[in-house]
């Protein structure tokens, strides 16, 4: 298995070495790895203040090694993270190695590629933000069905002027730190990219254009006959982009581009992202709700999407080189 460790704040090389040895020890002791070998760690990002990101590998000849997800969710790992101030991301080595070939990156939109929950911002325009936010929170935590929650929230948006989309783009919507840089790097490397959103097409299409994504899928809202307002309904014949639909779209896009699932990376933050996160070779819960972090294959809480590049095996020098390209 491959371990990528993110330290906050940057730390000395001595602390890095101690923390990796400790983590290796507790993993071996807890899961009884046979003949487990810890490789020398590689610094992926180091500055004047110390080391921030490293990668190392644990190789075992044991036939009954636990799944990386089992190890990563263990209490022993959580205690080591707290003790040494790092966050560990575990990957199967074959998956990690596959990232060097161009693949498919699939993203959620709200609170992933962008910092806002768009439906909350729409609700603010008609004074029902608190009601919509409460429903959104319950849906993202998996307390109520996403389709039901979407219809409830959309119904509260009746009367919102369609000019709101341009207003949101100009003054409200902010891309998540690292979103533009990550998608630029992946584009330079030949990856295909998609946004699969439980939000709405006017914003998803704009995000896809801004980030040069290849595909976008989102929910379609009905507008009044004069085109001036939202009606509070979804287009009747359109697909609702719920959890299972996101998963199906990921599978369809990957198959259409002849990309094996081992080379698919999915990033999201909500309960409706879990099926696609579990289907991808690498599924990342990004700054996600606690329930999602516990159930997703991997989690990343650095609040910068560019850090995904480290999970693909690139160091800071390589990343900076990609960003310098036109």
Active-site positions read 108, 110
Contacts of 165 (CB under 8 A, 6+ apart): 202, 203, 206
Q: The tokens of 258 are what? A: 């002849």
């Amino acid at each position: 298995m491959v371990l990528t460790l993110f330290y906050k704040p940057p730390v000395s090389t001595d602390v890095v070495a101690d923390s990796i040895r400790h983590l290796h020890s507790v993993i071996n002791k807890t899961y009884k790895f046979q003949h487990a070998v810890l490789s020398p760690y590689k610094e992926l990002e180091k500055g004047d203040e110390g080391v921030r990101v490293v990668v190392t590998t644990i190789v075992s000849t044991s036939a009954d090694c636990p799944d990386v997800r089992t190890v990563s969710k263990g209490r022993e790992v959580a205690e080591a993270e707290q003790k040494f101030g790092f966050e560990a991301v575990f990957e199967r080595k074959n998956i990690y190695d596959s990232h060097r070939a161009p693949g498919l990156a699939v993203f959620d939109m709200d609170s992933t590629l962008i910092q806002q929950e768009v439906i909350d911002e729409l609700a603010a325009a008609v004074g029902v933000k608190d009601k919509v936010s409460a429903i959104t929170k319950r849906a993202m935590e998996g307390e109520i069905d996403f389709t039901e929650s979407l219809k409830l929230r959309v119904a509260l948006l009746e009367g919102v002027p369609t000019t709101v989309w341009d207003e949101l783009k100009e003054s409200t919507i902010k891309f998540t730190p690292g979103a533009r840089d990550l998608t630029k790097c992946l584009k330079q490397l030949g990856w295909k990219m998609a946004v699969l959103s439980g939000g709405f097409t006017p914003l998803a299409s704009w995000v896809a254009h801004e980030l040069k994504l290849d595909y976008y899928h989102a929910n379609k809202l009905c507008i009044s006959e004069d085109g001036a307002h939202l009606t509070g309904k979804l287009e009747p014949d359109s697909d609702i982009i719920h959890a299972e639909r996101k998963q199906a779209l990921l599978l369809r896009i990957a198959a259409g581009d002849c990309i094996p699932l081992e080379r698919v990376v999915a990033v999201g933050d909500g309960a409706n992202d879990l099926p696609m996160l579990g289907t991808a070779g690498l599924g990342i819960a990004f700054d996600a709700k606690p329930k999602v972090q516990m159930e997703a294959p991997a989690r990343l809480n650095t609040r910068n999407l560019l850090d995904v590049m480290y999970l693909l095996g690139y160091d800071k020098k390589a990343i900076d080189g990609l960003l310098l390209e036109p």
